[in-house]
Amino acid sequence: MGWYSVRCIFQLNGIPAGTGPDEGPYEERITLWRADDFDAAIALAENEALDYIEDTDWAYLGLAQCFYLGDDVTQILQGTEVYSLIRSSPLAPEPYLDTFFDTGTEHQREAD
């Protein structure tokens, strides 16, 4: 068995996407799983995703992406890579970040 991280994507129901800067929110969650392979890790994460949204206004969008951490991960240490996704894009760095990560509509927690 190895350790896997799985990213699942959710959307808040009842608020149409694109209707305003603070509306149509999506959530990306990354969870850690001990499993035999990618398929087993994704199955565990998707079952948890359905539990996570139970009795809420959130919907699981059916997208799960998996990252293999290794077999011998006995503890998560500072700086441990828990997820990685490589995407090809013709965009230059600033437009790439603005398009995929810093659109201005993110709901981020402020430092205490």
pTM exceeding 0.75: yes
DSSP 57: S
What does the pLDDT look like over 11-63, one tens digit per residue?
Answer: 887 665 555 555 567 888 999 999 999 999 999 999 999 999 999 989 999 99
Answer whether 69's CB lies under 8 Å from 3's CB. yes
- Going from N- to C-terminal start, the domains of the chain cover 2-72+83-100
Nearest 10 degrees: Cα torsion 28, 33, 36, 37: 20
What is the radius of gyration, based on Cα positions, of the chain? 16
